[in-house]
Amino acid sequence: MPRTGVPLPSRSRLWRVLDEEELEIIDNAAYKILKDVGVFMDDEELLKKAEEMGCSVNYETKLVTDIPEHVVREQVRKAPRSFLLAGRDPEWDVEVEGPARRQYWAPESGATDVLVWDEKGKKYYRRRASSKDTLYAARIVDGIDDFDVNVYIYDAAEEGHQGLPSELNKMNAIFQGTTKWAGHLAQRFQR
């Protein structure tokens, strides 16, 4: 049975940082950015789909601009209102439903260094984090029931420094160390 998170108070009881006018300003700015600046899409099929929807597509730079507001609103309308983040153990599946309905807990840092206590010198020293540190942290998070999902605490900076794909090393370590849903924003590196 999926974890359902902690219910949040009704929207009318939530603290509102922005009023409707300020939200509209941000909304309009977002559409202006989508029109003038655009988005990078590194997928031929997506580029073709964007062009079919009326966007301007530069296949050389893979940049999509002139994204019509109605297209964005239509795609948001079509998006599912809930979805499942599946853990390796179904007990840790997380059901995400609608905006601001429930909250879930996860640790996250992405630290590139580890602080290590030197007992002899009675001080901390830094060393570059590796996938071993990511695995160790993932196992700790996996054992803490208060965390619903497992995202990386340490970056696999050591492997990245060696020219290896740190994102893949990091995710491999997390998957080895957890039964919960694991993930993070993927990064794209051009060489």
* Residue pLDDT, tens place only, 135-173: 999 999 999 999 999 888 877 778 877 887 878 888 888
Mean pLDDT of 169-190: 76
Q: What pLDDT sits at residue 13?
A: 64
pLDDT digits (tens, 9 = 90+) for 67-91: 999 999 999 999 898 889 899 999 9
What is the rounded average pLDDT of the residues 94-111? 79
pLDDT at 48: 97
E runs forming strands in the chain: 6-7, 39-40, 56-58, 63-65, 82-85, 94-97, 102-103, 113-118, 123-128
Residues whose CB falls within 8 Å of the CB of residue 95, separated by 6 or more in sequence, listed in order = 2, 3, 4, 5, 82, 83, 84, 85
H-helix or E-strand containing 72?
helix 69-78
